Amino acid sequence: MSTTTEERLIRPARNIVGSLRLPGDKSISHRYGMLAAFAAGTSRFTNFSTGADCASTLACMEALGAKVTKTAENAIEVTGVAGKVVPAGHPLDCGNSGSTMRMMSGLLAAQDGSFTLVGDESLSRRPMERVRKPLAEMGADVVLTEGHAPVTIHGRALKAVDYTTPVPSAQVKTCILLAGLQTEGTTTVREAIRTRDHSELALRAFGAKLTRTVDSVSIAGPQALHAIDAAVPGDISSAAFFLCAAALFPGSNLVLAQLGLNPTRAALLDVLTALGAHIAVLDLEEKNAELVGTVQITSPPEGLGSTTVSGGLAAQLIDELPVLAAIAPYTSGGIRIRDAKELRVKESDRIALVVKNLRAMGAEVEEFEDGVDVPGGQTLHGATIDSGGDHRIAMAFSVAGLRAEGETLIQGAESAGISFPEFFDLLDRVAER
């Protein structure tokens, strides 16, 4: 656990203008890194995520026998273990990364050997029963510590399962698919709300065969993976902070090139459009089955309107909800968020921290177990923000600070590095003052 915390001062801005190419998507980088490390051969990636989370995935896979080499700025080569990891002989440190811990649990449950997965203080509080349960149904030996990490896995041959996920979670879906990849028979994951499908697309890109229906995905194992070369699309969840910042100012004009626009990730563009922002998507193309394009956003002179995010939309937008809540006071009609209880078990209790920090800035906000009501038409003042060591809270309130009166001090600003180390520098580049 880090004991030093960095503070960042956010000064108000006039608008957001410029053109950026953002670092690689965190979700896709985790999957490309993990699958390449498991595959046979050497994969090459450009624009790989620069976040500490993906570095945790790579470090764990290196400890399990894969070879990772940095070849250029944000470019890596990964030589895989050809389907058979080497037990590390020490705990695998997943850092702050739930994706690393949950997805790797599935990968390792079907391998020979014993593995212990540990994480930082935040990750050690997060629920892991959601991966233990389906893996146990497959016959895996996974032991938790009161429902949390450390996760101890004694790998063995598993049996195929047909599993319906009780909470929408792409990490859990991936965990089961990675176990199914190595297991005789057909493993099926059913989900009531479709979560991000990067694993399905990545597994296919690495040569695996999967079948999909509207609400399920099946994999017949065992299957081998081969290496690939890929450019990772820009991270739309990182872009969310810039898109929301731009939407706040009628004078803004921001272009984000080579952005990942996978339909299971791009719901923010619809929500911002519903709020009144003007969004144009240019140069749409497909790379390894992922949609990539250039997005231009401008904001209407009359400002943003109002919207409700609930049901399946809340699950699809889960990582973008903190920043949407943070800009909500500046809309005319406010933003209502419901069906987002999962926010309480992310890197922090994101509902509690959104409410605490909005109130610190003088906003009126009502807290619900599964969301918030933030009225519009409010004027906020700069304040000291408690990020709770959560990257998305630190960045969300940096955006809120751009339109506040006075300066905003972000405590624990270094947490942005979990997904987006370049955040503050890039914000300074496009924020006109």
Q: State the catalytic residues.
A: 319
Mapping DSSP to helix (H, G, I), strand (E, B) and coil, where does residue 248 land?
Answer: coil
CB of 133 to ligand S3P, least distance (A): 14
Q: CA–CA distance from 177 to each of 58, 146, 414 (Å)?
A: 19, 25, 33
Nearer to ligand S3P, 200 or 319 (CB): 319
- Dist. CA 60–CA 205, nearest whole Å: 22
The smaller minimum CB distance to ligand S3P, of residues 183 and 419, is found at: 419
Query: At closest approach, how far in Å is the CB of 9 from ligand S3P?
Result: 27
Percent helix / strand / coil, the chain, rounded to 5? 35, 30, 35
Assess 197 for contact with ligand S3P (CB under 6 A). no
324 binds ligand S3P, rule: CB under 6 A = no
Supply the minimum distance, in Å, between the C-beta of residue 377 and ligand S3P: 30
Go through 248-281 and write b for each residue having 16 or more CB atoms within 10 A of its CB, e for each that does not.
bbeebbbbbbbbbbbebbbbbbebbeebbbebee
User: How many residues does the structure list for the chain?
Assistant: 433
Judged by CB under 6 A, does residue 238 bind ligand S3P? no
Residue 290 interacts with ligand S3P (CB under 6 A): yes or no: no
For residues 108, 109, 112, 117, the Cα torsion angle rounded to the nearest 10 degrees is 50
Task: Considering only the stretches 70-78, 168-176, 248-256, 323-331, report the one whose residues sit in contact with ligand S3P under the rule CB under 6 A.
Answer: 168-176
Phi, psi of 165 (to 5 degrees): -75, 130
Q: What whole-number distance in Å separates Cα of residue 176 and Cα of residue 326? A: 34
For 407, residues 6+ apart whose C-beta sits below 8 A from its C-beta are 9, 10, 11, 12, 382, 401
Residues pairing with 44 in the sheet? 77, 229
Cα dihedral 355/356/361/363 (nearest 10) = 30
Q: Which two tokens stand for residue 424?
A: 């503050």
Q: Check residue 339 and give left, alpha or beta (phi > 0: left; psi -120 to 50: alpha).
A: left
Window contacting ligand S3P (CB under 6 A); options: 39-47, 166-174, 202-210, 276-284:
166-174
Q: Cβ 321 to ligand S3P, closest distance in Å?
A: 10
Of 12-20, 167-175, 179-187, 260-268, the window that binds ligand S3P (rule: CB under 6 A) is 167-175
Residue in 120, 319, 390, 414 binding ligand S3P, rule: CB under 6 A: 319
Q: Indicate the residue among 196 and 336 with the shorter CB distance to ligand S3P.
A: 196
Q: Which stretch binds ligand S3P (CB under 6 A): 164-172, 226-234, 273-281, 420-428?
A: 164-172
Interacting stretch for ligand S3P, rule CB under 6 A, among 74-82, 112-120, 163-171, 293-301? Answer: 163-171
- How large is the angle between the packed helices 170-180 and 26-38, nearest 10 degrees? 10
> Which residue number, 386 or 390, has a Cβ lying nearer to ligand S3P?
390
Member of 8, 132, 196, 265 binding ligand S3P (CB under 6 A): 196
56 binds ligand S3P (CB under 6 A): no
- Residue 290 or residue 342: which is nearer to ligand S3P going by CB? 342
Q: How far is the CB of 24 from ligand S3P (least distance, A)?
A: 13
DSSP state string for 163-231: EE-SS--HHHHHHHHHHHTTSBEEEEEE-SSPPP-HHHHHHHHTT--EEEETTEEEEEE----B--EEE
Q: Select the residue interacting with ligand S3P from 15, 27, 252, 357 (CB under 6 A).
A: 27
Q: What H or E segment, with its residue span, contains residue 116? A: strand 113-118
Choose between 125 and 154: whose C-beta lies nearer to ligand S3P.
125
Rounded to whole angstroms, the Cα distance separating 84 from 406 reads 56
Is residue 206 within 8 A of residue 232, CB to CB? The reply is no
Asked if 169 interacts with ligand S3P (CB under 6 A), we say yes
Out of 243, 248, 318, 380, point to the residue binding ligand S3P (CB under 6 A): 318
Compute the least distance from the CB of residue 139 to ligand S3P, in Å. 23
Q: Please, which of residues 171-190 interact with ligand S3P by CB under 6 A? A: 171
Instruction: Report helix, strand or coil for 99.
Output: helix
- The answer to whether 22 and 239 are in contact (CB under 8 A) is yes
Q: Does 262 bind ligand S3P (CB under 6 A)?
A: no
Rule CB under 6 A: choose which of 170, 175, 267, 404 binds ligand S3P: 170
Question: Which is nearer to ligand S3P, 196 or 403 (by Cβ)?
Answer: 196
Interacting residues with ligand S3P between 72 and 101 (CB under 6 A) = 98-99
If the CB atoms of residues 255 and 399 are measured against ligand S3P, the closer one turns out to be 399
Minimal distance, residue 348 CB to ligand S3P, in Å: 12
Pair 271, 304: CB distance under 8 Å? no
Residues that bind ligand S3P (CB under 6 A): 27, 30, 98-99, 169-171, 196, 318-319, 342
